[in-house]
A and B are shown apart, each in its own frame.
Chain A
Amino acid sequence: MDLTSIIGEAAPRQGHKVLFKEFLSENVVRMRIEAALIAKERRPGQFIIIQTDVNYGERVPLTIADANTEEGSITIVFQTVGKTTEELSHFEVGDYIPVVTGPLGRPTHIEKFGKVVAVGGGIGLAPLYPIIQGLKAAGNHVTVIAGARNKGLLIMEDEMRAIADEYIAVTDDGSYGRKALVTEPLKEICENDKPDMVIAIGPPIMMKFCASTTKPYGVYTLVSLNTIMIDGTGMCGCCRVTIDGKIKFVCVDGPEFDAHLVDFDNMLKRMGAFREQETEAREHTCRFRKALKEMQEAEN
């Protein structure tokens, strides 16, 4: 029986193939996805926007953690914090992510500063990695301060150690490295051996305190902001932040800004604009996934 006319030819899959996936911790995923053009153009500090559904999905910015131009792939590292990242964590090798746009944002300005301290908190360690690579290649002495809530969430240690001149690990609960916040070793370094530049990427509250730590020492400090975005090309203005009293768009003017000029308090508030809706959506998805799993188990 010839069913070709009914089945038809397989339409070419739309989107970007997942080439590799691993869990770095319970809710942190590293994924390598096919994106030849983005791999070629991306520079440290830039991000992409992904959607898990082209019709109804939301657009979520994720920083590019690495790229391979030969393979034509980029690496993203993300934590499952909302509905879309939760969905994305269920994509398997061979699946296609329907929308991947980028690279977006301005690349990190990399030059030989001298002594650089790179502070990464939690998932912020992922976007920090390509920047450290770039800084190292430009001839800087790089000290990494890696912080996380606990040992399980402290990601990419081996990669960091391989390129950094110094590596300091801190955890909130002391389950690994020093029991401290990232600002403690940062303050010590500023006091004893003042760096020429600091770059801090992590939760907004961490970046805020890194900024206030380095400010008295007059150390030039960069932070990479991850505000709410839609298009990521400057069109909607949703991601706007106040920098030195002026409105700036994180997607086109950033994502990196002089930490001492950022109005963090306002940014922290704005990032919670849709918290209620986000929580509902996340819970809905988790309930759905759980029900699905139960159904599958029941069938088996």
Chain B
Amino acid sequence: MPRFHEDPQILNEKAVEILKGLTAKEKITPKDRMDIPVQKPAVLDPLQRSKWQDEVEKTFTPAQAVVESNRCLQCKIPNCVKGCPVNINIPGFLAAAAKGEFAEAVAVIKQSSLLPAICGRVCPQERQCQENCTMGKKHDPVSIGKVERFLADWDITNNTAPMETAPDTGHKVAVIGSGPAGLVVAADCRRAGHEVHVFEALHKLGGVLRYGIPEFRLPKAVVDSQIDSLRKMGVHFHTDYLVGRTRKLEDMMKEDGFEAAFIGVGAGLPIFMGIPGEDLIGVCSANEYLTRANLMGCIYPGINDTPMYRSKKVVVLGGGNVAMDSCRMAKRLGAEEVTVLYRRSRNEMPARREEVQHAFEEGIHFCFLQNACEVHGDDKGRVKSVTVQRYELGEPDQSGRRSPVKIEGDTYELECDTIIVAIGNKSNPLLTGATPGLDVNKKGNIIVNEETGETSIPGVFAGGDIVLGAATVILAMGEGRRAARGINELLAKK
């Protein structure tokens, strides 16, 4: 039986009580709204969940969602919308949800975001919509993301009708990569009536949503349902199809009848630290660790074939979402001690606040202002310890964050058997290298027209991490929307 922080039933009963109070009123004043306590979803008990793959946070109950939506003040100038990378009409959907009109609320979200069940779970809301929330100035901001998630989940269970599509135009669009950017382009182009084919290099769809983000943060059933809804709209999916290798993009455009293509292959080339001992057995990229666990099924030991590191003492390098996913996964796969080394302080951590909080609760050790500088191995070439260098915060750097400065001579040894490097990704040169005429910048990211997302090759668009460098799911989706608009405008002229 799952145990929770707070009893879900009591949480719901409290919401129902508030709701009764609200419905008794003739008019709900802003004062009333401010008095409503922020709604908290049921959260699995940390001790228990750190051994499970189950999703940590549950979805709001309908009563909780309605109550939370009623906390929105419906500001005349909605600052929350400005904070959203895809400018969802947030007061719009909250107003509908506040009245319990969930179908309408979902429709409002879907005008701007096609994958709300995913965004509601993985967006860093505290630095986007909720950062600007007026309510948040004096009280807790409205939990916009959690309401969005509730609505999306409600939509999955209650509304099985596929999204409407325009009559077939006869134009063919190739989408390369089935990650967040690609899925958005597929949906938008299919809605415009084009024939859409998505090509995925791996054996399963979803890109980073599949191989990277773990089950306990984004259940794969959610990803599957979003992909299924695209299938129902008529989008074609091809797995094990590595564009650039299985078939050249040029041939697809010239011989296979594709009139437009979208490149959304992500930033898949892990960066390593470049420190001595990094080639020892037990040092791996977060990509490798999470791919083994999520995509290759190492979270189901005994059934899957791909081996996993048998780790007891794990060190994770980095402070982003990927680092959080890695450390929490290591704990779930049986590690006794998991330590995160981050060379800045907690305030500078780019990870979603909730994930850091959850990691703390699950018993992950955090060492701030520290970083690995050398890895040591035993005679079999396996990791046995790491030398850790201490830092202090100096002047702000280009990113505006205070940059860490080494404290000379202040080091210590940390025993460990596994080191997971989660310090980011470079752009993968596989497709760009195999596509002559495709302009990339020094970092290998594809250069696009800022208005349309079109690349140096006419008819070929790009977006997501391969353009941005490593970023977030929602930014990739925003990029996808832009490119889809570009593609649809281009094809409308044909």
Contact = CB atoms under 8 A, between A and B. Distances in A.
Q: A and B: real partners?
A: yes
Interface of A: 37-38, 41, 51, 53-59, 83-84, 98-104, 230-231, 233-238, 240, 242, 247, 249, 252, 263, 266, 269-270, 272-274, 276-278, 281
Contacts of A38: 246
Given A51-B203, A102-B242, A238-B288, A233 B428 contact: yes
Interface centre among B204, B270, B297, B307 (most CB of A within 10 A): B307
Q: Which A-B residue pairs are the 8 nearest by beta carbons? A: A269-B381, A277-B307, A235-B268, A236-B288, A274-B307, A58-B305, A58-B306, A237-B285
B402 to A, nearest CB: 30
A230 B292 contact: yes
A277 B270 CA distance: 25
A41 B246 contact: yes
A235 B297 contact: no
B165 to A, nearest CB: 24
B304 to A, nearest CB: 4
A240 B239 CA distance: 25
Given A53-B305, A273-B282, 6 more contacts: A54-B203, A58-B296, A102-B246, A230-B306, A237-B269, A238-B285
Interface in B415-431: 428-430
A231 B265 CA distance: 14
B427 to A, nearest CB: 10
Given A58-B306, A270-B381, A233 B430 contact: yes
A53 B284 CA distance: 25
Contact of A252 (B282, B295, B306, B430): B430
B242 A101 contact: yes
Contacts of A269: 281, 380-381
Majority SS at the chain B contact face: loop
Contacts of B232: none
A64 to B, nearest CB: 12
Contacts of B245: 41, 102-104
Nearest to A269: B381
B13 interface: no
7 contacts: A41-B245, A53-B305, A235-B211, A235-B268, A237-B269, A240-B279, A277-B307
A237 B288 contact: yes
B305 A231 contact: no
Interface string B228-250: 00000000000111100111100
A56 B268 contact: no
A234 B300 contact: no
Contacts of A247: 272, 274, 278-279
Given A51-B203, A247-B278, A230 B428 contact: no
Contacts of A101: 201-203, 240-242, 246
Interface in B260-316: 268-270, 272, 274, 278-279, 281-282, 284-285, 287-288, 291-292, 295-297, 300, 303-308, 310
Given A41-B247, A230-B291, A56 B281 contact: no
Given A237-B284, A270-B381, A37 B247 contact: yes
B240 A238 contact: no
A231 B201 contact: yes
Contacts of B307: 58, 274, 277-278, 281
Given A242-B279, A269-B380, A274-B307, A233 B242 contact: yes
A288 to B, nearest CB: 13
B304 A100 contact: no
Nearest to B431: A233
A173 B74 CA distance: 85
